[in-house]
Copies of this chain bind each other. A is one copy, B any other.
Amino acid sequence: MNRPETLPRSAVADTKTRILDAAEALFVAGGFDALSMRQITASAQVNLAAVNYHFGSKDALIESVLARQLDTLNEARETMLDRLESTLGDQLQCEHVMAAMFLPAVRISRSGAPNADRYLQFLGRAYTDPSSVVRDFIDTHYLQTLGRFFQAFQRTLPQLSVDDLAFRLHFAMGALSGILAGGDTQRLLKEFTQGQGDHESFLLSRLISLMAAALKAPLPGPTDPNMFDHIVKLV
């Protein structure tokens, strides 16, 4: 922002970047609560007070760490959704919208960008970290992109009311978080990063199939609408 443009980038990163890199590495390794200001500053070889000077607080630091990676991801997601919408037009289905949500992360992780190999590890941490700081920031950060995707889902699922769609998307997103938060995350990420194209397609299609089934479920329910009353009286 207010850094002079004429200043040449030195061979070693400046203090602010060193703090960001150190915090990100420690965050990926152990999550937010395993982070201490003294650990970060020692790892970055800067003074303890440097974090507060450059970022204001520990919370603001980790938000900067998250934004540095998630801004790019959400841009790619919206771009991919735009392309799919303009290419497919009325043939757009909710599976395409979900692909636009999940594919960009995989692609970034396979690009030649620095630390690309750890990108999905970072995402796994960011999406599953239990701290309210991380969760609140991600929720806020997703608000704009999520609205964009909500409209796309509305187009592909016109039979659902706004309330029902919100309910089911909430359901589906919670399911995704649950999968990422589960003990299988490591295995899941391994398949993402190391698996062949077949594995990647298979896993993503399996995930998307499930979410599509939940989104497309008939409104009155697949069974007798009064089934629940029946159960209540049964026990």
Contact = CB atoms under 8 A, between A and B. Distances in A.
Which of A87, A168, A178, A234 gathers most chain B CB within 10 Å?
A: A178
A87 B179 CA distance: 33
Interface string A179-202: 101101000000000000000010
Interface stretch (A112-120, A146-154, A219-227): A219-227
Nearest to A106: B232
A25 B132 CA distance: 20
Does more than half of chain A's interface fall in helix, strand or loop, or is it mixed?
Answer: helix
Contacts of A206: 167, 221
A130 B217 CA distance: 30
Interface of A: 33, 80, 83-84, 87-88, 93, 95-96, 99, 103, 130-132, 135, 167-168, 170-179, 181-182, 184, 201, 204-206, 208-214, 216-218, 220-223, 225, 227-229, 231-232, 234-235
